[in-house]
Amino acid sequence: MKKNALSVTRENDFAGWYQQLISEADLAEESGVRGCMVMRPWGYGIWERVQFLMDQRIKQAGHENCYFPLFIPLSYFAKEAEHVDGFAKEMAVVTHHRLMKDEEDGLVVDPDAKLEEPLVVRPTSETVIGTAFARWVQSWRDLPVMINQWANVVRWEMRTRMFLRTSEFLWQEGHTAHADREEAMEETLNILELYRSFSEEVLAMPVIAGEKPENERFPGADATYSIEAMMQDGKALQAGTSHFLGQTFSKAQNIRFQDKEGQFQFAYTTSWGTSTRLIGGVIMTHGDDDGLRVPPLIAPYQIVVIPMLRDKPEDEAVLDYCQELTKELTQLKAFDETVRVKLDKTGAKASNKRWGWVKKGAPLILEIGPRDVSEGNVSMIRRDALYKENGKLDSHILAKGDFVGQAAGLLEDIQSRLHGEASERLNSNITRGFSEFSELEAFYKENKKYPGWLEVQWCRATGEELDQIEERLKKLKLTFRNVPQDAAPVDGNCIFTGKPAVERILVGKAY
C-alpha cells in the first residue's frame, strides 16, 4: 500500500492535516508572537503571485494604489457607531511611544511617554481613508475616487489558525467614492465579479458569489457580498467580501461634493478586500495527503529540475544537462508569462528533494539522472496526478525536446484539472429541495460529518426574526453563507418562517 508524504490524512484529522501541510510545505510557522505567523519563502512566494495577479486586475478595473497610515486615532472610530461596535472588541492599541530601563524590572514601558490620544492599529481603513476622501472630494468632477492599498491589518482574534485567522494579516483593501447610488452599487458588484473570476481562474478555486444576510454585513455597510469557497471537509470559507457602504461613512466623515447643479451631496462609498486567507483556501481546496498542489498560475516555481547527484564524476554532465534544460524552459511562456523554473542544486538527497517539492506542490517535477542525460530524456512527475492506479509513483520518461514542447500545455492542463476537480466537489455537495426546517435538521443529523452546503428558500428575514433563525442554525453549527447570484427562482415558502420565499440562501458550516 502506498504511504503518503504527510502522516496525518484529511480523512482522519482535517485540522491536523492542515497544520502539518503548512509546516511540511514550508508555507508558514508560528512566530512566537501571539496569533502572528511567519510566512516562509514558499508561502510568501504564493502570496506574491496572488498579489501580482490580483493587482493587475484591480488596476485594469480602474483603481490606483495608495498607502495610508497604519495607525488610526481613536477619535476616528468614535465617528461611526456601528463600525465601532463591530471592531472595538478586537483591536491592538498603541498607548505609549517609548521604553525605558528600570533598575528592578529591566526594560519597561516608559510611563511618561503616554500618547495624548491612543492610536489603534488599523483593523481595516474605512475611517482613515474616508478622512482622506473628505479632503479629496469637493466637486462632482473629483468623483469617482477609486483606490486600493496592499497592507497589513490587525484584529485581536482569540482563537487563531494560520492563514485563516491570524492577529496580523496581509490584504488588499479597495475603497471607492461615487456620486450616486447606482454607480457605487455597480462598483460593489464589479468587484464581487472580479473576486469570483480571480478565484476561479487564478486560484482554480470555485466559489459562489452572493449577498450576505443583514446580520452578516460588514459593520456600517448597507449591503455585503461575498465569495464562498467549499473546502474539502465541506465547510465554507468566506474568501473575499465587497461592501456597499451607502452614505454611512460619507456622512460620518463628511465626504461631500457639489453636484452639477451646485447642491451639496454626500458621496456613496464602497470597500472590499481579500487577504492571505486565500492561501488557506488554496490549501484546503487543492491539498492532498502528500501535501499542497499549487495551481500553476500562483506557483512561485512551476517546474522544478532536480539533478540526481551522487558525488560521482558523471555529476558534472548531469548538472550541465540540467542547467541547459532550465535555460530552455525559462524561454517558454505559459499563461502569457515567462515560465518559472527552479534548478534545485542544494546538497540534499535527490529523493528528499523530490518529496520536498511534492509536499510544497510544485506543478511539474523533473528528475534527471545520468541515464536521462545519456538518452536525452527527462523523468517527469505531475503533482496533480502523482500515482498510477496501482499506487506507484507515476514518473513519465519523455524525450527532452518533447517535454520542452509540451511543458506550457501541461501547466495549463494542470491549472484546469485542479479547477475541474474542485468544481465537481462544490457542485456535488450542495443539497437542495428542503421544504421545511425539520427536513434540514434531519438531513444534517444524518450527514453530520460531511453535510456540505444546503441551499434553502427563505423570506429574507431581518432584525429579530433573523436573529431567531440564526439561533436555530447555530444549534446545528450552521451559518448563513450567502444568497447566490445565479440561484434558481423561488417556488415555495421560507423553510424558517413559512412566509413566501423571496430568494435562495446557502447554509453551511464555516471557517
Note the residues at the interface with its own copies (CB under 8 A): 29, 31-33, 36-41, 44-45, 47-48, 64-75, 77-78, 84, 88-101, 106-109, 118-121, 128, 131-132, 135, 141, 147, 151-152, 154, 156, 167-168, 170, 347
Evaluated on CA atoms 292, 293, 298, 301, the torsion sign reads positive
- 485 within 8 A of 510, measured Cβ to Cβ: no
Give the C-alpha distances (Å, rounded to integers) separating 348 from 29, 325, 431, 456.
22, 20, 48, 54
Instruction: Report in angstroms how near the CB of residue 377 gets to its own copies at its nearest.
Output: 30
Q: Which CB sits closer to its own copies, 90 or 424?
A: 90
Close Cβ partners of 56 (under 8 Å, ≥ 6 residues apart): none
DSSP code of 500? B
Q: Which CB sits closer to its own copies, 1 or 107?
A: 107
**390-399: long-range contacts, CB 8 A cutoff, minimum separation 24:** 391/1, 391/2, 392/2, 395/367, 397/372
Residue 288 has phi, psi (to 5 degrees) of -135, -170
Q: How far apart are CA 337 and CA 426, in angstroms?
A: 29
Instruction: Report in angstroms how near the CB of residue 279 gets to its own copies at its nearest.
Output: 12
Instruction: Report in angstroms how near the CB of residue 55 gets to its own copies at its nearest.
Output: 9
Instruction: Report in angstroms how near the CB of residue 94 gets to its own copies at its nearest.
Output: 5
Instruction: Report in angstroms how near the CB of residue 450 gets to its own copies at its nearest.
Output: 34
Question: Angle, nearest 10°, between helix axes 277-286 and 41-60?
Answer: 110
Instruction: Report in angstroms how near the CB of residue 126 gets to its own copies at its nearest.
Output: 14
Instruction: Report in angstroms how near the CB of residue 340 gets to its own copies at its nearest.
Output: 11
Q: Which CB sits closer to its own copies, 121 or 189?
A: 121
Q: How far apart are CA 59 and CA 172, in angstroms?
A: 12
Instruction: Report in angstroms how near the CB of residue 120 gets to its own copies at its nearest.
Output: 7
The overall longest dimension of the chain from CA atoms, in Å, is: 84
Q: Which CB sits closer to its own copies, 174 or 213?
A: 174
Q: Would you call 214 exposed, middle or buried from its count of C-beta atoms within 10 A (0-12, 13-18, 19+)?
A: middle
- 470 within 8 A of 448, measured Cβ to Cβ: no
- 22 within 8 A of 292, measured Cβ to Cβ: no
Q: How far apart are CA 454 and CA 434, in angstroms?
A: 8
Q: Which CB sits closer to its own copies, 272 or 437?
A: 272
The one-letter code for the residue type at 106 is G
Q: Which CB sits closer to its own copies, 32 or 262?
A: 32
Q: Which CB sits closer to its own copies, 92 or 510?
A: 92
E-only strand ranges, 142-251: 145-154, 168-178, 207-211, 223-230, 236-246
DSSP code of 441? H
Q: Which CB sits closer to its own copies, 4 or 31?
A: 31
The cell for 269 is 462609498
Q: Which CB sits closer to its own copies, 156 or 443?
A: 156
Residue 300, helix vs strand vs coil: coil
Q: Which CB sits closer to its own copies, 54 or 128?
A: 128
- 109 within 8 A of 103, measured Cβ to Cβ: no
- 304 within 8 A of 366, measured Cβ to Cβ: yes
The cell for 249 is 461613512
Instruction: Report in angstroms how near the CB of residue 306 gets to its own copies at its nearest.
Output: 17
Instruction: Report in angstroms how near the CB of residue 231 gets to its own copies at its nearest.
Output: 24
Instruction: Report in angstroms how near the CB of residue 454 gets to its own copies at its nearest.
Output: 36
Q: How far apart are CA 457 and CA 445, in angstroms?
A: 20
- 508 within 8 A of 236, measured Cβ to Cβ: yes
Instruction: Report in angstroms how near the CB of residue 168 gets to its own copies at its nearest.
Output: 5
Q: Which CB sits closer to its own copies, 38 or 442?
A: 38
Q: Which CB sits closer to its own copies, 120 or 179?
A: 120
Q: Which CB sits closer to its own copies, 345 or 425?
A: 345
Instruction: Report in angstroms how near the CB of residue 84 gets to its own copies at its nearest.
Output: 6
Q: Would you call 105 exposed, middle or buried from its count of C-beta atoms within 10 A (0-12, 13-18, 19+)?
A: exposed
Residue 463, helix vs strand vs coil: helix
